[in-house]
Amino acid sequence: MLNIRQKFGKFGENVAVRHLRKIGYQVICQNYRNRFGEIDIIARDGDCLVFVEVKSRRTDTYGHPKYAVTRAKQEKIARTALYYLKSTHQINCRARFDVASVTLFDRKPCVEIIKNAFECV
Say if residue 40's pLDDT is above 70: yes
pLDDT at 121: 59
Evaluate if residue 57 carries a pLDDT over 80: yes
Please determine, for residue 32, whether its predicted confidence score (pLDDT) is greater than 80: yes
**Residue closest to 42 by CA, chosen among 98, 115, 103:** 98
Rounded average pLDDT over 26-54: 97
- pLDDT band, residue 106 (cuts 50/70/90): confident
Are the CB atoms for 85 and 78 separated by under 8 Å? no
Mapping DSSP to helix (H, G, I), strand (E, B) and coil, where does residue 46 land?
Answer: coil
Share the mean pLDDT of the chain: 91
For residue 120, give the nearest of 51, 42, 25 by alpha carbon.
51
Helices (H), 1-121: 4-22, 71-87
Structural domains of the chain, ranges and CATH numbers in brackets: 4-118 (3.40.1350.10)
- Check if the beta carbon of residue 51 is closer than 8 Å to that of residue 44: no
